């Protein structure tokens, strides 16, 4: 199956937190989207890997993505080396996306920057014919996504561009609430973490409102890029 967009996250919920609005919008425009989680988030303060799996599947249904896979790398301890790169390359060659979305280039959780670089490096290597991979005994063809965009999570990074997600924020929040073991729940008996506070939860909306305000729309999500963005015409910009 070929996809237009493949979104990677170090942990299940990274994609929802970073770019669910953009994914919902692209799907509404007819694009095909899939998600690949690098780990099962087994070190998360609340819940368990099994609960996270169920939550991730529920969130995928809300978003309307066609596939969601998990590479089962070690939460907290995966590294950006050949073995891990090859696992990511297999996913890129399997789904042949034009656009890859991946973690923030810099963030509080160390897996985010690691996952960001791992996926970005794999996107490059995936385009080299002599990097050989095979799945179920079948060798895969080289494929390099045209564009790699990094979403943002905890830290307030300066975006290189923003996507208008007005009209998609309710569904975005719904996809995040699917991770009910992780986020704000006044009745939870489990330990607190930085993402379990009401403040964190509300910050999701006020950040998208703030990016939106700056470009004259209600809500927007920000992304960074590793190379210049090009447009065919100045009229392409809103
Ligand atoms: Zn994360």
pLDDT at 184: 66
All domains of the chain in start order, with CATH: 5-236 (3.40.50.10320)
pLDDT score, position 187: 73
Distance 67 CA to ligand 1 centre (A): 19
Give residue 93's pLDDT.
98
Query: DSSP string spanning 132-178?
Result: --EETTEEPPP---SEEEE---SS-PPPSEEEE-TT-HHHHHHHHHT
From 155, 120, 119, 147, select the one nearest 38 (Cα to Cα): 119
Task: Using the mean position of ligand 1's atoms as its centre, give its distance from the Cα of residue 231 in Å.
Answer: 31
- List for the chain the helix, strand, coil content (%; round to 5): 40, 15, 45
Could you tell me the distance, in angstroms and rounded to a whole number, from the CA of residue 30 to the centre of ligand 1? 28
Confidence (pLDDT) at 55 = 95
Whole-number Å distance, alpha carbon 196 to ligand 1 midpoint, is 13
Question: What is the pLDDT tens value at each position of the chain, 238 positions in all?
Answer: 999 999 999 999 999 999 999 999 999 999 999 999 999 999 988 888 999 999 999 999 999 999 999 999 999 999 999 999 999 999 999 999 999 999 999 999 999 999 999 999 999 999 999 999 999 999 999 999 999 999 999 999 999 999 999 999 999 999 999 998 887 666 777 777 777 778 888 898 999 999 999 999 999 999 999 999 999 999 998 8
Predicted pLDDT at 34: 98
CA 234 to chain centre: 28
Cα–ligand 1 centroid distance for 217 (angstroms): 28
197: phi then psi, degrees, rounded to nearest 5: -85, 155
Could you list which residues have their CB under 5 Å from ion ligand 1? 11, 14
């Amino acid at each position: 199956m070929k996809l237009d967009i493949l979104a990677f996250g170090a942990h299940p919920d990274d994609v929802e937190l970073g770019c669910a609005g953009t994914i919902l919008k692209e799907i509404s425009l007819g694009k095909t989207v899939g998600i690949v989680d690098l780990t099962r988030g087994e070190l998360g303060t609340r819940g368990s890997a099994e609960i996270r799996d169920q939550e991730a599947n529920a969130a995928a249904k809300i978003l309307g993505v066609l596939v969601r896979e998990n590479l089962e790398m070690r939460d907290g301890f995966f590294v950006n080396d050949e073995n891990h790169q090859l696992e990511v390359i297999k996913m890129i060659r399997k789904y042949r996306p034009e656009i890859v979305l991946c973690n923030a280039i810099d963030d509080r959780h160390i897996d985010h920057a690691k996952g960001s670089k791992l996926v970005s490096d794999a996107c490059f290597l995936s385009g080299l014919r002599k990097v050989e991979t095979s799945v179920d005994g079948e060798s895969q063809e080289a494929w390099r996504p045209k564009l790699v965009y990094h979403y943002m999570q905890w830290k307030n990074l300066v975006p290189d561009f923003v996507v208008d997600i007005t009209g998609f924020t309710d569904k975005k929040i719904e996809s995040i609430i699917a991770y009910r073991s992780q986020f704000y729940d006044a009745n939870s008996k489990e330990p607190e973490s930085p993402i379990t506070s009401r403040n964190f939860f509300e910050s999701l909306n006020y950040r998208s409102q703030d990016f939106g305000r700056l470009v004259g729309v209600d809500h927007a999500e920000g992304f960074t890029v590793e190379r210049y963005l090009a447009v065919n015409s100045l009229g392409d910009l809103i």
